[in-house]
Structure 1
Amino acid sequence: MTSLPTLYTADILYTGMGLPIRDGGVVVSGQTVAAAGPRAELRANYPQAQEVRAGRVISPPPVNAHTHLDMSLYEFQSLPYFEWIPQVVIAGRARRGLEGAQTGLEAIQRSGAAAMGDIVWHPEVMEWLLTHSQVPGVAYWEVLDPNPATAAQTFASTRERIEGWRELERPGGLRLGLSPHASHTVSHRLFRMLAEYAGAEGLPMQIHVLEHPSEAELFATGAGPLAESMARMVPGLSVADILGREPAQGLTAVSYLESLGVLQARPTLVHMVNVTSADIRAAAQAGCLVVTCPRSNRHLHCGTFPWAEYAAAGVEVALGTDSVASGETLDVHDEIGAAWTLHPGLDPRQVVRAAVKGGSRVVGGRVPLIRRGEVWNAAYLWPE
């Protein structure tokens, strides 16, 4: 006796193509997709199908486009960004390492993320991820050196590491990438070297940019709480030393990176909360992708990501959890829920597409399609 097909329905259906559909569904016969589309059409075309309410979303699994797995043994703390860096990240650095990365990777696997973009600080962690991770995506080697006098030395050691690690890349695993840490923690000389190298070698890049309002103040005036925090952490270096120019009204982190030629390498820009309209246009014109981390932005008092402006400019947005120290969990589904809450005026379908299509573009992955003839995957039924 032939079993009846099942019609799974949800508020949002994303097939991996185009714009997600409101009140959509998927007809599944055995383990094969028979049809996907608006619920009303499927109900009419497949009257014999047994309807099952799947929840809010049916879609290929989301991507966690920005993580710090090696910080997974940190405790969550909510502080202004310029206090959080020294009081949490630096003060707790003894907790950062391989055990944290292993704990974090287990959390990523439990979350059902299709892929990830992870920022890696320890060489041991990089080697372990490249050889052991069953979650695909990109492992970005983080580089931090604000001193222009040591730029050449830092670049040479970075290139040597990258060239050695590339031999560890394997099909289905993580690819290697570069992450100049932030617009204000890498010297102008080193930024140019890293961007040129990444562009020539085809290495994907991620950079933390304009996360907190104090970063915008630093570029405009050279003053403010972030500038004061940096003066304590890197004594003897002025903001002008790091940037290779004086701060000025109208100068932003994005326009600064553009002037260095960094945007030509099409890095993924992470956070991008405290931006101007010109910053958004520059990112769009350069073809840069942007990752937002809504919970981290809230917990570090960064402000609200101007999602609608990015959408209007045609910038592809992705979602990331950041570290557990600022985002609480590494479950991208938690991040999606937070995005719906923190952006109530945004079409929720945009969040779903960002988590799937945007994230896949960041890490260079392929989105599986939910269409007639494809194999059905129960992971397409997202948790509530």
Structure 2
Amino acid sequence: MTPTPETIDLLIEARWIATVDQDETLKNHAVAVHDGRILAILPTAEARNRYAPAARHVLDQHILIPGLINLHTHAAMSLMRGIADDIPLMEWLQKHIWPAESALVSHQFVLDGTRLACAEMLRGGITCFNDMYFFPQAAAQAAGEFGMRAALGITTLEFPGNYASDADDYIAKGLAAREACSGNPLLSFCLAPHAPYTVSDRSFQRIVTLAGQLNLPIHCHIHETCNEIEDAIKQHGRRPLARLQDLGLIGPSFIGVHAVHLNDAEIAQLAAASCSIAHCPSSNLKLASGFARITEMQRAGVNIGLGTDSAASNNRLDMFWEMRMAALLAKGLSGDASTLPALEVLRMATLNGARALGLDDVTGSITPGKSADLCAVSLGDTDCQPCFDPLSHLIHVAGRDQVSDVWIAGKCVLEHKTLRIGNEFHLDASTALWQNKLEVCTGSNAA
């Protein structure tokens, strides 16, 4: 007697599946999804016999991968895309970005900017982003509207801004936002001290205490430029990482952003402490910050994820771009073409990012029991032919334009390259409004 097929919500059949937690790329397999979670991965023919799905999605020219995880961004700064290009970091911050933020950043600015960022990220297969910015409840609202997974920063600086008056106020408002968002399973939080040059010892010590009490990651810019290190030595008598070590920040919950200028001892220190790094290759290059020693970090055992940084310093929230850039830079700088093969780069953009955020039991790989955060990438275009190795094609041939469908917790948020939500927010109109205000504020004027 033939068993009755099991009723499930969704069956996704794909030509190839890269689960990420396995080395092998599966061919002609299917992913069974129910109640937002992955039930099983099995050969397509077997899946058709075993399951009776409410919806079936056939991807006969696609590779199915975990949703991409953007481990470092400032999402709302998408409204500042291209506002001050070709300028060194500190000049860019002090003369352009910080004055513009002081004039215009508000709850509505962050809401509209994060909506714009969510639309861009979803179209590029990003299902989760780790954000560091102001008004996190506005970012939470935008992420919720688009059905995105997000880790939101309890951003901390010493100087006042439109959002908070001092470090204690930043922390208090961030913790209140966390409490207000506690009912959304797609949202988590990180403690996000901006950088060693903007946060005091006292504030760092409080952040360490909170991280231990609340079991939250710590997300912080570190060793981004040579000037940052030189200034730290003058002010504190030691390099920034040594200062953070002395203050108790360096441990398994620490996510160091950029980490461009590390010596051998610091790489060993990060590895020994089970830290994570958010590697942002495009932003590092565009701001001329330098070349992160990714090959050495990887060999030492540092957990490395990938981030875009903001659209103001990149200028796109494109993880396909970051994957290929990371791979090519590592090969070129190391002189070893075998460095960062395609699967390892994909892990950096998925499972490693989830691990850094403490979400690796939830997302980051196509694994039974995990959330169905999935991204379908078409390799059927003429530009992608012939295809001998789908994983290599994913990194070195395909781009975000090949992303066709995206699911988060089993819900389709991008279908046949069309967002399932977003038109009602009139993103073109709101972006044009903010552009006009930024042009007046900064004295710039687009043709």
TM-score bin (small chain): 0.7 to 0.9
Q: How does 1:185-204 map to 2 (within 5 A)?
A: 185-204=198-217
> What are the Cα deviations for residues 325-356 of structure 1, in whole angstroms up to 9, with x where unaligned?
11111121221122223223422332111111
Given candidates 330, 346, 352, the residue that maps to 2:317 is 330
Q: Does residue 223 of structure 2 align to residue 210 of structure 1?
A: yes
Q: Does residue 157 of structure 2 align to residue 144 of structure 1?
A: yes
Report the counterpart of residue 347 of structure 1 in structure 2. Answer: 340
Given candidates 355, 362, 367, the residue that maps to 2:364 is 367
Report the counterpart of residue 19 of structure 2 in structure 1. Answer: 15
Quick one: distance in 2 between partners of 1:216 and 1:359? Answer: 26
Quick one: distance in 2 between partners of 1:375 and 1:260? Answer: 39
Which secondary structure does the structure 2 equivalent of 1:114 belong to?
strand
Q: Does residue 105 of structure 2 align to residue 108 of structure 1?
A: no
Q: Does residue 300 of structure 2 align to residue 313 of structure 1?
A: yes
Quick one: distance in 2 between partners of 1:164 and 1:329? Answer: 27
Matched to 1:299, the amino acid is: K
Q: How does 1:280-295 map to 2 (within 5 A)?
A: 280-295=267-282
Quick one: distance in 2 between partners of 1:146 and 1:352? Answer: 38
Given candidates 265, 278, 287, the residue that maps to 1:300 is 287
Which secondary structure does the structure 2 equivalent of 1:327 belong to?
coil
Q: Which segments of 5 or more consecutive residues in structure 1 lack a partner in the other structure?
A: 1-5, 37-50, 223-238, 240-245
Moved more, 100-109 or 304-313: 100-109
Given candidates 76, 80, 89, the residue that maps to 1:81 is 89
TM-score (norm 1): 0.75
Answer yes or no: is the 8 Å Cα contact 1:138–1:177 preserved in 2.
yes
Quick one: distance in 2 between partners of 1:285 and 1:194? Answer: 21
Matched to 1:87, the amino acid is: K
CA shift at 1:318, angstroms? 0.2
Report the counterpart of residue 351 of structure 2 in structure 1. Answer: 357
Moved more, 298-307 or 116-125: 116-125
TM-score (norm 2): 0.65
Answer yes or no: is the 8 Å Cα contact 1:75–1:324 preserved in 2.
yes
Answer yes or no: is the 8 Å Cα contact 1:68–1:118 preserved in 2.
yes
Answer yes or no: is the 8 Å Cα contact 1:129–1:174 preserved in 2.
no
Answer yes or no: is the 8 Å Cα contact 2:194–2:221 preserved in 1.
yes
- Please identify which structure carries the higher strand content: 2
> What are the Cα deviations for residues 196-247 of structure 1, in whole angstroms up to 9, with x where unaligned?
1122111222000011111122223x2xxxxxxxxxxxxxxxx3xxxxxx42
Answer yes or no: is the 8 Å Cα contact 2:351–2:364 preserved in 1.
yes
Report the counterpart of residue 379 of structure 1 in structure 2. Answer: 376
Q: Does residue 243 of structure 2 align to residue 256 of structure 1?
A: yes
Task: Determine what percentage of the aligned residue pairs are the same residue.
Answer: 24
Answer yes or no: is the 8 Å Cα contact 2:127–2:373 preserved in 1.
no
Quick one: distance in 2 between partners of 1:184 and 1:326? Answer: 19
CA shift at 1:58, angstroms? 5.2
Q: Does residue 67 of structure 2 align to residue 61 of structure 1?
A: yes
Answer yes or no: is the 8 Å Cα contact 2:221–2:258 preserved in 1.
yes
Report the counterpart of residue 427 of structure 2 in structure 1. Answer: none
Answer yes or no: is the 8 Å Cα contact 1:198–1:205 preserved in 2.
yes
Which secondary structure does the structure 2 equivalent of 1:59 belong to?
strand
CA shift at 1:129, angstroms? 4.4
Change over 3 Å in CA distance of 1:81–1:253 after alignment to 2: same
> What are the Cα deviations for residues 10-35 of structure 1, in whole angstroms up to 9, with x where unaligned?
xxx742214x45xx442236978545
Quick one: distance in 2 between partners of 1:30 and 1:212? Answer: 44
Answer yes or no: is the 8 Å Cα contact 1:195–1:265 preserved in 2.
no
Answer yes or no: is the 8 Å Cα contact 2:256–2:277 preserved in 1.
yes
Answer yes or no: is the 8 Å Cα contact 1:116–1:136 preserved in 2.
yes
Quick one: distance in 2 between partners of 1:176 and 1:253? Answer: 24
Answer yes or no: is the 8 Å Cα contact 1:198–1:265 preserved in 2.
no
Matched to 2:96, the amino acid is: V
Q: Does residue 76 of structure 2 align to residue 70 of structure 1?
A: yes
Moved more, 25-34 or 331-340: 25-34
Matched to 1:304, the amino acid is: F
Moved more, 317-326 or 159-168: 159-168
- Equivalent pairs counted in the alignment come to 327
Answer yes or no: is the 8 Å Cα contact 1:28–1:376 preserved in 2.
no
